[in-house]
Amino acid sequence: MTQLVAWAVVAGIGLGFGLWCLASVMPRMSRPRLARRVAPYVVDISPQARELLAPATPGPLPVLGMLVEPLVSRARAALESTLGGSEILARRLRQSGSLTTVEALRSQQLLWGLGGAVVGIAVAITAAQTQPVAPPIQVVVVALFFAAGVFGRDQLLQRAARKRLERLSSELPVVLEFLTLSLSAGEGILDALRRISKVSAGELSRELAGVVASVNTGLPLADTLTSVASDLELPAFSRCVEQLVGALERGTPLAEVLRAQAQDSRDAAKRDLLESAGKKEIAMLFPLVFLILPVTILFAIYPGIFVLQLGF
């Protein structure tokens, strides 16, 4: 009898898995969304359109995703209404160079929050086993862990954006000097940007490669550079773009402008380095004053006190 029950369970699992696979490859009877209807016309220039038109993977996961998607959408909307700041998140994603959308980031925040809530539940259960804990306190603990997971993902994004902005700032003087050399050799500004985007592999060269691609599609160079500067919000790069756009409008020699901007960027990097060194020097005094100096005084005074106590 036990063997029959076991075989029945195995057969039921196999039947359910097969039905889920068949249901996942069946065409949907509902009307397609607007994004799916427009996707075939923009598939050449839109990665999201290619993802929508990609064939579905057979298996139960697509069906499970279809079932869970409404609940996830409501939870994401609730998180959006609670936290807000979609424009700030979009700017941080742009600064970090991530291709993740704001909706995908909200979903990741939900997952991090659920993971934190699971950890909070485990902590509450463990604490309840050692000593009685009131249910409101357990709920507060779980809520705190959930909030820690949500804000932890946001802090990770802020750190990635900050690190990338630092790399962009460090690469800016070298890129400006290379552009100055290319312009002095007789190349145009667009050819110089195209050259540096091909020979370099830094973060700033990738941004310039995007500028060149946008200009090749028909967008004005000045507007494209201004848009990139406003998205990155890097002060040194924004000043450089302002000077470059002004030189293009007035007809000023670009090589001299870029050479001056490269020197200004290097001076700003030196000032930042000196400020960072000053802060590090102050931070290095803390272990000296609060750890090494008290231990030294203790070793200097304690033997004398010990000798006085013995009466020598």
pLDDT, the chain, mean: 80
What sign for the dihedral angle of Cα 31, 34, 36, 42? positive
Q: Distance between CA 165 and CA 159 in Å, rounded?
A: 10
Q: What is the pLDDT of residue 155?
A: 92
Q: b/e per residue, 275-296, with b = 16+ CB within 10 A? A: eeeeeeeeeeeeeeeeeeeeee
Tokens of 6: 């076991």
Going by C-beta distance under 8 Å and a sequence separation of 6 or more, which residues neighbour residue 7? none
Per-residue pLDDT reduced to its tens digit, 187-213: 888 888 898 888 888 888 889 888 998
Provide DSSP, 145-162.
Answer: HHHHHHHHHHHHHHHHHH
Which of the residue ranges 11-20, 115-124, 264-273 has the most confident prediction, judged by mean pLDDT?
A: 115-124
pTM of the model: 0.69
What stretches of the chain show up as alpha helix (H) in DSSP?
Answer: 2-25, 34-38, 47-53, 60-83, 86-96, 102-130, 135-184, 189-199, 203-216, 221-232, 235-250, 254-287, 293-310
Q: What is the pLDDT of residue 29?
A: 47
**158-161 long-range contacts, CB within 8 A, separation 24+:** 158/92, 160/96, 160/98, 161/92, 161/93, 161/95, 161/96
Surface-to-core class of residue 187, CB atoms within 10 Å of its CB (0-12 exposed, 13-18 middle, 19+ buried): middle
Check if the beta carbon of residue 154 is closer than 8 Å to that of residue 220: no
Domains of the chain: 164-268 (1.20.81)
Per-residue pLDDT reduced to its tens digit, 104-127: 888 888 889 989 999 988 888 888
Q: Distance between CA 258 and CA 183 in Å, rounded?
A: 9
